[in-house]
Amino acid sequence: MTIVVLTVKPRATNVGRECCQEYFKGAIPVKRLKTWYKTSAECPMRAVVLVTVLGRSICTNPDDLRVRKAIKYLKNTMKSHN
């Protein structure tokens, strides 16, 4: 599995932000996902970051059907654990 690296860019407030440089194009391991989040609106590229149970971050395209399915899966999984 190839993981796309996030970069942390400093801001004037000295608080970093994570921005994706490119999207992961491989298969999304839905059963190995733990959570997800959107990158900051300040990032030059919109992205959804999928986080695996091993703590790896995967930059993905929010318009990709596979990503939307993964988010739906995670939302349902989180509801069942609450």
- The domain ranges of the chain are 6-81
Strand 57-60 to strand 48-52: parallel, antiparallel, or no bridges (unpaired)? antiparallel
Task: Return the SS3 of 19.
Answer: strand
Tokens 């069942």 found at: 80
Would you say 34 and 25 are in contact if contact means Cβ atoms under 8 Å apart?
Answer: no
Which residues, listed in sequence order, are joined to residue 36 by a DSSP beta bridge? Answer: 50
Residues 55-64: tens digit of each pLDDT: 999 999 999 9
**What is the tens place of the pLDDT at every residue in 5-39?**
554 444 444 345 689 999 999 999 899 999 999 99
For 6-81, CATH gives: 2.40.50.40
- pLDDT single digits (tens) 37-47: 999 999 999 99
